[in-house]
Structure 1
Amino acid sequence: MTQPPPPPYQPFGQQPYGQQPSPYGQPPKKGNKTLWIVLGIVGGVLLLCCGSGVVVFGLFVNEVDNQIDEERENDTPRQVAVGEEFEHDDFVAESGWTVTRDDIGDFDITGLTLSNESDDTRTAYLEFSVYRDDTILGEITCTSASLGPDESSVADCYSIDDFMGDFDEVRVADSF
């Protein structure tokens, strides 16, 4: 009886090359890129939406800041020449107005006609401060009727401060 030849000698009981089982299992299949394309598109859309939101928010904050600055400027008294035309907060005061003493001895403004130069219907609320040598002598509040765009009306003015005679400066600001 003949015996089969012995297997080739393998030290330490190793299998011949190419016959060893992989300790890591099957390698992943390559070629399926659809998932990565979909994830890339979703990520791009999210990035675009977030970026747009940040831009819109930034524009909103800038517009609010501009409105605050404009309102602060309207609330700061600025000098006007008595009787001369001036513009304040999109209202134009026609020339010919005067600061006078009313029937009970208080400050008053007569002949003040205001025109609305904005595109909205609005009412003027103006505060005139009368000065002598940087000292406030009195304040006069003037209001108009509700004015549509390009409408005018004579302002109604009143004061509770006694007319003190000579003054050298008049400033105007928003009442509130």
Structure 2
Amino acid sequence: MSDTPNPGNTGSPGPGYYRDPSGVMRWWDGARWTDSVQNSGPSPSAPQPPPSRPREKSHTLRNVLLALIAVFVLAIGGCVALLAFAGNEVNEAIESAEVDDAAPGGPDNPLTIAEGQPFEVSGFQYAPGWSVTQDTLGNAQVEGLRVTNARDETDSAIVEIKFMNGSEVVALVNCTTEQIQVGQTTSLNCFGADDFPATYDRITINDAF
């Protein structure tokens, strides 16, 4: 076992594992063989396989979940914006209705009128010449009441005419029209079921709605 390893070059090779005369991979210290042998593994000259590339993780599920979350957030945001818009529209409608109700002749603010005199309620212009009377049954009635639609759109007049004695309603007459075109004039149909009052101090009118 004293033979010098010959890896193919002239002279004594440097330290390393070489195949000895018996065919065993043994450590050569540069001058002689030692007792250290290589039991397994490739020889120093054998090329090492490149490290395997780590397997890339699939993010498909994560991406789908993120997309769904994004859609959900956008949908919630859209619903919140829609609700806010709808709430604002409702509030504006309520405020507008409250203003109309409180206007002279509105449901919450009856307008005092004088028999036979013209007046206006919310864009409806009532002509002069009307009168209060009683029918054959003795019920309070209003005759000859005519109205012109000076509003911006077709609408109908639905009003209450009240005979007042102080703060008490002593007789009520309901008057209505069909749909009136803008600028058109028509007569109101009035109906009362209360007795013509013996005493009253004023007459008021207000929109029923």
Taking structure 2 as the reference length, the TM-score comes to: 0.54
Give the Cα separation in 2 of the matches to 1:70 and 1:144: 24
Matched with 1:69 is 98
Once the two structures are superposed, the pairs formed by residues 148-159 of structure 1 within 5 Å of their partners are: 148-159=181-192
Once the two structures are superposed, the pairs formed by residues 79-158 of structure 1 within 5 Å of their partners are: 79-82=111-114, 83-158=116-191
Provide the secondary structure at the position in 2 that maps to 1:149.
coil
Give the Cα separation in 2 of the matches to 1:147 and 1:92: 12
Contact conserved, 2:147 with 2:187, CA < 8 A, in 1?
yes
Contact conserved, 2:113 with 2:205, CA < 8 A, in 1?
no
Structure 2 counterpart of 1:87, which letter?
Answer: E
Q: Which has the larger radius of gyration?
A: 2
Structure 1 residue runs without a partner (length 5+): 1-48
Structure 1 counterpart of 2:97, which letter?
Answer: I
Number of positions where the alignment pairs a residue of Structure 1 with one of Structure 2: 153
Q: Quickly say closer, same or farther: Cα 1:166–1:56, change in 2 above 3 A.
A: same
Contact conserved, 1:79 with 1:169, CA < 8 A, in 2?
no
Greater alpha carbon shift after TM alignment, 70-79 vs 148-157: 70-79
Structure 1 counterpart of 2:108, which letter?
Answer: T
Greater alpha carbon shift after TM alignment, 154-163 vs 97-106: 97-106
Render the CA deviation track for 1:6-54: whole Å, top value 9, x for unaligned.
Answer: xxxxxxxxxxxxxxxxxxxxxxxxxxxxxxxxxxxxxxxxxxx899768
Provide the secondary structure at the position in 2 that maps to 1:145.
coil
Q: Quickly say closer, same or farther: Cα 1:50–1:106, change in 2 above 3 A.
A: closer
Q: Quickly say closer, same or farther: Cα 1:136–1:57, change in 2 above 3 A.
A: closer
Deviation at 1:94, TM superposition (A): 1.2
Give the Cα separation in 1 of the matches to 2:201 and 2:152: 35
Render the CA deviation track for 1:122-142: whole Å, top value 9, x for unaligned.
Answer: 111101110123221100000
Render the CA deviation track for 1:60-90: whole Å, top value 9, x for unaligned.
Answer: 2442232331353221242322222222232
Matched with 1:78 is 110
Q: Indicate the RMSD between aligned Cα atoms, in angstroms.
A: 3.9
Pick from 136, 144, 163 the counterpart of residue 196 of structure 2: 163
